[in-house]
Amino acid sequence: MRCIFCDIAAGILPSEVVFETDDVIAFRDINPAAPVHVLVVPKEHIDGIAVVDQTHTAVLGRLMLAAVEVSKSEGVAGDGFRLVINQGREGGQTVGHLHIHLLGGRQMRWPSG
């Protein structure tokens, strides 16, 4: 299945990439909700967090490690940041390709709404 984030991962669609490995790419959100708003995305198409199984264990670990790496390179690791995965309609997911939002650079509120 091909989608907008597959096209970004393949370099077909432009994006502001801040981190990349063989299986993970991270780029700035086009509509940032915070001073730092980066999407951490597996290059492999996965519809969302609800469909992962044990075959995804390695890539899920790499996604989390990438998010922490980007928090450091974006300068928000010290003051704190938030990682968010939206799943499905009620979860607010609008792009059907698994991604972690890394949000930082301002005080986060809770509950997130």
Quote the least distance from Cβ 98 to ligand AMP, whole Å. 9
Q: Does 60 bind ligand AMP (CB under 6 A)?
A: no
Which ranges in 1-113 belong to alpha helices (H)? 4-9, 57-73, 88-91
Give yes or no for residue 112 binding ligand AMP (CB under 6 A). Answer: no
Tell me if 92 contacts ligand AMP by CB under 6 A: yes
**Is 87 a binder of ligand AMP (CB under 6 A)?**
no
* Residue 30 touches ligand AMP, criterion: CB under 6 A: yes
Nearest-Å Rg of the Cα atoms of the chain is 13
Task: State how far the alpha carbon of 12 is from the alpha carbons of 7, 64, 86, 103, in Å.
Answer: 5, 25, 25, 25
Max CA distance (Å), the chain = 38
Active site residue 45: no
Please identify which residue in 9, 15, 41, 102 interacts with ligand AMP, judged by CB under 6 A. 15
- The set of catalytic residues is 99
